[in-house]
Structures are given as C-alpha cells and as structure tokens.
Amino acid sequence: MLRLLSQQLRLNERDLHASVFGPGKDSKTDTSTTQTDGSSFNASMQTSPASMINQYKFEEEEEDADTKDIFVTVDNPESHVTAIETYITYRVETKTTRSEFDSSEFEVRRRYQDFLWLKGRLEEAHPTLIVHPLPEKFVMKGMVERFNEDFIETRRRALHKFLNKIAEHPIFSSSEDFKIFLTAGSGELTSHKKQGPGFLSRMGETVKAVAAAVRGVRNRPQEFTDMQEYAEAFSQKISSLDKVTQRIVREQKEYLEELKECGPTYALWSQSEQELAEPLKNVAGCVDNCCKETEEQVKHLNDHLIPVLHEYVLCADTLKAVLRRRDNIQADFEGKTEALATKKADRDADSKVLSLAWDSLVGRSPEEVKQQKQQKLKGEIKEMRDELDKAEDRLEWANNALKTDWTRWQKVMRTDLRSAFIDTAERNVSYYEKCLAVWESFLQSQRTDAEGNGNVDSS
C-alpha cells in the first residue's frame, strides 16, 4: 500500500505536468498557470521508510495559524422530523477578530440546503473563482441508510472543510453572503435566500450559457486551453486513484473479516492439542492483535485518505465548470463584437431603396429619412459599444481572476494531497511495524521455549 501510494503520487504529478507542458519543457516558463512539478524523495536519503518520511518536506509551508482571523467549526448534528420531511442540521460556530462582524463569536444551525445556497451565491458572484466542492447531495455510494451515524459524520467533516476553505479564501471570506451564512438567524437567512435571482432570471442565464456553448469560443487564449487539458488529465488521474484506493480498502475489509475468524480457530485447536496448546494460544493472541491493528488501519484509510481523494474528484468537476463559465463569458464577448460589426456594416450600406421610396410617398424627403435612420443606427451602435465595453471588462476580470485563483488552488491541492499521502504512509509504516513486533515477539518466545527444552539446532 505504501509503495503503491508513493509511486502513484510521482506518476500523477509527472503525467499531469507532461499533459500541460509536454516533455522537455520548463515548468516555470508559463507564469499564468504555474503548474510546477512536485518534488520527490531525494535519492541520498536513508533507506528506512520512517527516516524518509521524517526528512520529507513540503514545497509550500502551511499558513501560520497566527495570521488567521476567522475560525469556523461544524459539529453537533441534530435530526429534525416534521410532517413534510426529515433532515439534519449542524451547529456552525464562528470566532473572528474582523471588524466587519458585530461580535467576536457566533453560533447558528444550518442544514445542507443552506450550504448549497452559499455555494450557489459565491459561484454567481464570482463565476471564474474556484469554490471548494460540497459533498454530494444524495446518499454516497455504499451508504444504505441516509441518516446513519457514518454518513452524518462523513458529511459533517466535508461541510466543516468546505466552510474552512471559504474562510481561508482571500475573496470568498470577505463575501457578504458568507458573513450572513455565519451570523444570521434562521428567519433572517430565509429572507436573504428569497432575495436571490428569480426563476426567469436564472432561466435567462441558462439560455445564454447554452447559446454560448453552442456557438463556442473562437479565439481562446492558449493558457486556458492548457488549463482545460490539465483539468481533464487531473480528473482522470485522481478518479483512477480514488477507485483503486476504494478497491484496496474493500479488499482489506474482506481480509479483516477472514482474519477475525482465524484467531478463534487457533484457540479452539489449542483445546485438543495438549503439546501445542501454548503455541496455538499465542498464535491466536497474535492474530487478535493484528486484527485490532488492521481494523485501525482500515478505519484510517476510510476516514482520512478516501475522503480527500473523493473531494478532489469533485474538485476536478468544479474546475471544468469554472472553465466552461469562462468560455461562456468569452463567447458572449465575441457575439457582441460580431453584432456590433454587423450593425456598423448596416450603417455604411446605402441600399435602402424600398424604405426610402415608401417614405417619399408619404411626404418625407429621402434625405430626411436617411438622416433619421443614420441617427437611429448611431444610437444603437453607441449602446452596443457600451455593452461590448462592459463585456470586455467582464472578460478581462474573469480571466485575471481565474489565473490567480488557479495558482492558489494548485498550491492548496498539492498541500492537501501530499499531506494525505504522507499521513497514510506514516500510518502504514506504523501498522506494519506493530504487526511485525507482534510476530517477532511470538518467534522469540518460541526460541526461548526451545532453548529451555534443549531442542536448539546446533547448526
């Protein structure tokens, strides 16, 4: 398991780097995306797994806790049953030193739909910033009961991480919607949720997005094409690693169940073999001890590694959605540019024969009609140029925001994944060392018994 994870980490970073820059390119030449290759273990390190782990260092140092000015905790889930539905709420506690808050501590209760509202508001206000994903809305695969303790705890941890990612973000953490989410009472939050865009407005934005997707982007900058290729490669690699790890955990669970049957068998056997009774009992004890360690190992993988991998599977989908929104903004700008060019061509055309003839029959001179039409076209062109300027500003902001947040996201992602992999490696080393110590103790006891009975092999 340790070897698989370390090899997979190195392969993932090398493949992702090659998919963006190609073989032989310097990873530092493109400052807009800053996809730097991850560091690997130094060949000069000691060969002991424990020493390798102790000497391994992150490229990016974690943010000093003293610089943080807002701390959020999600805990204490409660079940609520009404005549209409059953749902879970979570306590959200906030401690902050920020001056824009009326107090330094807040405590509210929120349900999953409230978290969805916050995520939607952040995406609406900042379409090309990367909002950390929420856990899936429906029951996770393998969960039989929606409201069992394991599911609730898994979701609680995911919601806690979601809010802390928002709190650590330089833009999201200053959002008014985030502040309302953390501080508003349930009634006040409900009124704020009703102030969002109406159904027709959302439908209008959806129609625009679909139209932009159909029209496509003609002149996408290469850096965003590189980002799309990176997102696709990252999605494939992290999804594969997620599936492999889940399969490993399933197999270890099966191994654990079989191991649990092994110990009692040795214990029963010892009752019918007088001369082997003591060794058989010792083997049964060793198996039981290994069962406990294996159970802890499986729990650790299930609680710490798998959630992180699955979280970044969802992050990959978020990246793709952000890039699509950026493309939609560019497609809107290109569409407005083409419409303005067409309108200018109409203004410059002189072929208005039918209209001028009709207007002359009703007593208006051709020159007067021409001037009125030119004036009308001039006003329309000015209005379209203003809209185009706004679209250009929006595109420029969207591009700059995405490039900056992309760099930030990659730094956080690498820190999270490396931390998860190293934590898993340390846990694996500890697990195998403990199991090894159990069996070495058994061997030592058998050698001691053999020496005491004079059965030591002179060779």
pLDDT at 29: 40
8 A C-beta contact, residue 135 and residue 212: no
**Token pair of 393, please?**
């500003």
| pTM confidence score | 0.75
Torsion sign, CA atoms 84, 85, 86, 87:
negative
pLDDT at 360: 53
Average pLDDT, the chain: 80
pLDDT at 225: 96
CATH topology of domain 212-347+365-459: Substrate Binding Domain Of Dnak; Chain:A; Domain 2 (1.20.1270)
Task: Give the integer Cα–Cα distance in Å for 347 and 108.
Answer: 60
pLDDT at 33: 39
pLDDT at 379: 84
Task: Give the integer Cα–Cα distance in Å for 140 and 325.
Answer: 27
Q: Residue 363: which region, alpha, beta or left (left: phi > 0; alpha: psi -120 to 50)? A: left
pLDDT digits (tens, 9 = 90+) for 124-153: 999 999 999 999 875 444 444 556 888 899
Closest among 201, 169, 303 to 249, alpha carbons compared: 303
3-state secondary structure of 254: helix
pLDDT digits (tens, 9 = 90+) for 283-335: 999 999 999 999 999 999 999 999 999 999 999 999 999 999 999 999 999 99
406 pLDDT band, cuts 50/70/90, is: very high
DSSP string, 274-322: TTTHHHHHHHHHHHHHHHHHHHHHHHHIIIIIHHHHHHHHHHHHHHHHH
Class of 69-190 in CATH: alpha beta
Residue 231 CA, distance from chain mean position: 12
pLDDT at 23: 46
- Sheet with strand 70-81: strands edge to edge: 70-81, 86-96, 105-111
pLDDT at 24: 44
Q: Which of 99-113, 207-221, 264-278 has the lowest mean pLDDT?
A: 207-221
Give the H or E element holding residue 110.
strand 105-111
Burial of 245 (0-12, 13-18, 19+ CB in 10 A): buried
pLDDT at 274: 86
210 pLDDT band, cuts 50/70/90, is: low
pLDDT at 199: 44
- Residue range 426-443: mean pLDDT, rounded: 95
DSSP H helical segments within 137-221, as ranges?
149-168, 176-183, 186-194, 199-215
Task: Give the integer Cα–Cα distance in Å for 322 and 260.
Answer: 48
pLDDT at 138: 59
pLDDT digits (tens, 9 = 90+) for 83-131: 888 889 999 999 999 999 999 999 999 999 999 999 999 999 999 999 9
Total number of residues shown for the chain: 459
Compute the C-alpha angle 242/307/81, nearest 5°: 130
**What percentage of the chain has pLDDT greater than the value 90?**
56
For residues 60 and 371, which has the higher predicted lDDT (pLDDT)? 371
CB atoms inside a 10 Å sphere around CB 13: 20
Give me the residue spans of the domains in the chain: 69-190, 212-347+365-459
Fill in the amino acid letter for 374: Q
8 A C-beta contact, residue 73 and residue 92: yes
8 A C-beta contact, residue 385 and residue 320: no
201 pLDDT band, cuts 50/70/90, is: very low
8 A C-beta contact, residue 435 and residue 293: yes
Tokens 């021409």, located at residue = 370
For residues 20 and 367, which has the higher predicted lDDT (pLDDT)? 367
